[in-house]
Chains A and B, each alone.
Chain A
């Protein structure tokens, strides 16, 4: 049974329809990628799934439960973590405070939060070195790690990542993606949104390609990486090849 099932999701961005019926699913233990160019609706999809934005129609089912109309904080509580586009760490709060808020829902159990924070520090040693530094002064890569670590504080069943390598140097991007792999090995299912298909297809088990608010392609990541249309549109191929199906 799939952990996350999205059916016929429609949503607006401003006054414009950004999603016109998006359907996909993520099974327990998978890494699933959602690919597409800027403005194709990837971020809107994630925001609608995690309740930051209201769906106009369609259905989102998480762990067998209909969560379509739930507010974001209840969806987080249900075990769906979301690392938003642009990292969105709390810039004036310290690293430790950012992580503390990641565990907000368990705030009554201080010991558990502290223990989990130690685990996150173990995963990202760079963060452990500067717990008292304001997050806004971290480098881009460190901010991304903090954002991921913050979302891991509640041990989500599924972690949704929105462009985690955006603007990062290659080595840093690599480290972030390695962390994503590690997260899956620790038992968390991953839904990753990326614009640059190449590295993502290497990482993911399956992928969906989003174009103007619809899923236009889907399949095992290894097959999509070989698909001429994907190559043309997202991997820098020949413009004469029409990427449309």
Chain B
């Protein structure tokens, strides 16, 4: 597959930057004195921790104030296995990683439903629980921790001198770097960025957000935990006082100073966090104060960090590939029966029934606040209906999570346009593919790339593929939402006011687009205020008023219906009638 990438300076930096940095580090190991090499080794340990927390905080946007817990779990697991069971260092490593990953599940699972702010306190509490537990238990050596941990042996050689240890840490760092680099290419990385940008929208277009968040904890913990055994090997001890809240804060600072989501930023952050206090050793007393003020200053002056992330862009594929076969026509694609939803004492949607077959356009109209969007949200699983059934191609989907409804073939757009603003146009469409294919731990497939290309061309957005979605003009944003919805090759497409704010030219383009979508055998359900547009594109129209369908039928019938005119359209031919007369009709 051909990718389009210009050979400019940034591309050079992207490809040559890391090898050059590693080479420089190799050389540095030869020239620096023991003290400097020891500091450099500690920088690498923090860089590894930083790469771990970067997955949680940087990619997935989940705040973690107790990351030192995973550092501790790695160190204690490895140390205990070496001391009590006399395992070798290398044998303990996978166990330490597994233990941390398991604790990632323990902390991740209960917090999935929580608001982001509460995550902060829960992760902090978890960090404290781990620290206090190891201090209190006898098996972990209490406040004294573990001592007498044997050095690492590599090919029969004991790693004891600072330069040797530095090279060992460098090898670990390089391995973690490669691993996180691979991770950054997977579909999971795009899912994380989508969840970070707008987790409800991500869920609605098919991303299994809970699993994706949990994986962030698990993988972040696993990556970061590698630093634990390494640190234990460097010092020969595991000291519980090195896993305090302050340590968690230092690890968090590594990504905040560097720029969240940025791997080069992690290196910059690790250097600042470790080397700066060393440089300030002469003013030992004021070190903490200085550090704290620096933190406040960085947030106030550069909230993005010093090396803001430039995430790997999803490269636009050159060829679109063949059209997929349209879904089998016939029968009701979307069938809604007796849908009811109340909020407190107010019935927002009452006993709504709706059917849309393949290739049909069914429009739902009604005044603002009539319950149209609530009905959409019930159908797509974003809110649970109090009663009623929803079927997609004969399959029950009510009660399912929104991402499962999307996977069943029901795609939607939002009234107030919910794009993933920092992602490119092509990446937005790629995230829409999750409803079709939920696999996470592999790069986007050829089919993904072909579908993205096809949807962009279908909606006329191919030229804008590499631009960030947040910078698109209004009309293009609407179309991008449709492209993202189409990426999953849905059976039914729900459009929530797609013509809102559009000018007449854009409206005509939209009508054309809707026509082409239905021509592919997709059932289209449209919420729209523009009566003219609705009347010209719809096969059938349903009129909602205060949660109830007051009329349903072909456009011509609806236009002549008295109740509809009274409730919604108004009486255009009767300008002399008084306000009261009109409204009371």
Contact = CB atoms under 8 A, between A and B. Distances in A.
- Decide if A and B touch, CB cutoff 8 A: yes
Interface in B462-521: 470-474, 477, 497, 499-505
Given A37-B499, A195-B529, A235-B572, A244 B504 contact: yes
B582 A40 contact: no
Contact of B474 (A163, A174, A212, A232): A212
Given A14-B470, A237-B532, A137 B344 contact: yes
Contact of B570 (A16, A136, A235): A235
A16 B473 contact: yes
Contact of B370 (A16, A167, A202, A203): A167
A37 B530 contact: yes
Given A166-B368, A199-B583, A239-B536, A39 B570 contact: no
A18 B477 CA distance: 13
B197 to A, nearest CB: 13
Contacts of B505: 244
B579 interface: yes
B299 interface: no
A39 B501 contact: yes
Given A137-B344, A167-B370, A236 B569 contact: yes
Contacts of B500: 37-39
B421 interface: yes
A235 B573 CA distance: 10
B571 interface: yes
B367 A196 contact: yes
A171 interface: yes
B12 interface: no
Interface in A27-50: 37-41
Given A167-B367, A236-B572, A39 B474 contact: yes
A233 interface: yes
A186 interface: no
A238 B536 CA distance: 9
A170 B584 contact: yes
A137 B343 CA distance: 11
Nearest to B345: A137
B583 A174 contact: yes
Given A38-B497, A174-B583, A239-B535, A15 B471 contact: yes
B369 A199 contact: no
Contacts of A212: 474, 501-503
Contacts of A137: 344-345
Interface in A164-182: 166-171, 173-174, 177-178
B504 A243 contact: yes
Contact of B529 (A37, A139, A244): A37
A231 interface: yes
A88 interface: no
B546 interface: yes
A226 interface: yes
Contacts of A198: 570-572, 582
Nearest to A85: B368
Q: Pick from A174, A198, A199, A242 the residue with the most CB of B within 10 Å.
A: A198
Of all A-B residue pairs in the complex, the 6 with the closest CB atoms, nearest first, are A167-B369, A39-B501, A198-B570, A39-B500, A236-B531, A239-B532
Interface of B: 344-346, 367-370, 415, 421, 470-474, 477, 497, 499-505, 529-533, 535-536, 546, 559, 566-572, 575, 578-580, 582-584
Interface of A: 14-18, 37-41, 136-137, 139-140, 163, 166-171, 173-174, 177-178, 195-199, 202-203, 211-212, 222, 225-226, 231-233, 235-239, 242-244
Given A37-B499, A38-B497, A166-B369, 6 more contacts: A18-B474, A199-B582, A212-B502, A231-B572, A237-B532, A239-B536
5 contacts: A40-B501, A197-B570, A198-B582, A235-B572, A244-B504
